[in-house]
């Protein structure tokens, strides 16, 4: 059995050879798991020494949110809006940025459409478009993960990628306009 829990003050890793889930009762209404023969690693983000605890039997209590299988992807947007959790903020920003990203990707795709007469449009257009989309998709996932983990603040959040895309489109439009009127 393996369980990893990230907490504000650090992380906790639990290994156990056996586990059995105990149903809540009137005496103990909280959901919990009985673990046998294992080790708990408490990793502190601030202290220089981490704790290692070996156990034969341990009762592990977990949150009701975990028991209810709270999923950010299925949470109401209003719930995410009111939350101060980084993962919820990242999910909210992700949801809001998707329509904008769709428009920006469509505009970028339009830049690949311009071809000279008698030029085969399949030469490299599809390959370049696929590479641009793959790069964007991976960077978007990375941006969301960075916000979830606190690597990047909630501002700029996931928006930095859309700002780069928008800036690239503006620069392209200005250069194309100059080229058009330079003849």
> How do residues 122-142 score in pLDDT, each as one tens digit?
666 778 888 889 999 999 999
- Looking at residue 119, its pLDDT comes to 64
- Looking at residue 67, its pLDDT comes to 42
Say which residues have a Cβ less than 8 Å from residue 95's Cβ, sequence separation at least 6: 77, 80
Provide the 3-class DSSP secondary structure of residue 27.
Answer: coil
Confidence check: pLDDT of 162 > 90 = yes
User: Please, which pLDDT band fits residue 53 given cuts at 50, 70 and 90?
Assistant: very high
Confidence check: pLDDT of 68 > 70 = no
- Looking at residue 98, its pLDDT comes to 93
Question: pLDDT exceeding 70 applies to what percent of the chain?
Answer: 86
User: Please, which pLDDT band fits residue 117 given cuts at 50, 70 and 90?
Assistant: low
Confidence check: pLDDT of 28 > 60 = yes
Confidence check: pLDDT of 144 > 80 = yes
Report the Cα 72 to chain-centroid distance in Å. 11
The stretch 158-164 carries a mean pLDDT of 93
The helix, strand and coil proportions of the chain, stated in percent and rounded to the nearest 5, come to 50, 25, 30
- Looking at residue 114, its pLDDT comes to 67
């Amino acid at each position: 059995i393996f369980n990893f829990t990230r907490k504000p003050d650090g992380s906790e890793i639990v290994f156990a050879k056996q586990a059995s889930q105990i149903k809540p009762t009137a005496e103990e209404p909280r959901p919990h798991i009985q673990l046998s023969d294992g080790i708990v690693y408490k990793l502190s983000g601030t202290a220089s020494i981490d704790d290692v605890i070996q156990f034969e039997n341990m009762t592990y209590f977990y949150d009701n949110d975990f028991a209810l299988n709270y999923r950010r992807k299925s949470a109401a947007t209003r719930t995410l809006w009111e939350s101060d959790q980084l993962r919820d903020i990242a999910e909210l920003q992700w949801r809001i940025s998707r329509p904008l990203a769709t428009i920006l990707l469509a505009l970028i795709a339009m830049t690949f459409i311009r071809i000279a007469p008698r030029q085969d449009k399949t030469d490299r257009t599809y390959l370049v478009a696929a590479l641009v989309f793959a790069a964007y998709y991976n960077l978007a996932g990375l941006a969301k993960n960075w916000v979830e983990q606190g690597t990047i603040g909630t501002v700029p959040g996931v928006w930095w990628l859309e700002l780069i895309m928008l800036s690239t489109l503006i620069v392209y439009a200005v250069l194309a306009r100059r080229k058009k009127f330079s003849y």
